[in-house]
Amino acid sequence: MFHDAGDVRSLVRLYPVVSIVLSAHIILWILFVLPLTALEPVWQYIIGTNGAIRNGEYWRLISPLVLHYDFNHMTANSLSLWLFGPWLERALGKGKFLLLYIGGGVGANIATVLLLPPMYSHVGASGAIFALFGMYSYLALFRRDLIAPKHTQLLLVIVVIHLLLSLMEPDGNLMAHLFGFATGGLLAPFLAIRPQLPMFHVIRS
């Protein structure tokens, strides 16, 4: 699950999906914080706006997954993906990992559309990140052949801490966090894990 965060070349080589998503987080954040007013209509066209999604603009269920309002928001989600994404990408394979990540994010955004007001707008990868936590929780509870008991306890503590932190965020989208987590847990039984892959490892260049 954890890796040597300083080895960027190994991250890119071994975990291309995580690397591409992280790059998209950073590049798009930089692009939209630049003082280019011409990009404001683009931003408004791709953020998640419940009313627009209900009116058929369904791309807004996916595009917000790589957009963030500010540096802290982008950094927190990117750091979580950097820490918790690589093991799952390697264990599941690129295709299944992408299904989990995007499926969790879309599930979170659908819940946001259904449960929050039409004028509510949202961006961020939190729903997709919580889908990873949902997958890890399923493995910790039901696939103990893959995870040692001490690692199970650590994983569950991490998940609980993130859920509690989401409750304390004044501007956080709790619906996205909860339903992203639930979507990841529901998808988990259908995504086969490579049992030979150790849960904790360090990447070496």
* Active site members: 126, 177
Give the chain as a DSSP string: ----TT-HHHHHHH-HHHHHHHHHHHHHHHHHHSS-GGGHHHHHHHSEEHHHHHTT-GGGGTGGGG--SSHHHHHHHHHHHHHHHHHHHHHH-HHHHHHHHHHHHHHHHHHHHHHS-TT-EE--SHHHHHHHHHHHHHHHHH-TTTS-HHHHHHHHHHHHHHHHHHHH-TT--HHHHHHHHHHHHHHGGGS---TTS-SS-----
Give 102-149 as a DSSP string: HHHHHHHHHHHHHHS-TT-EE--SHHHHHHHHHHHHHHHHH-TTTS-H
- What tokens were used for 61? 């269920």
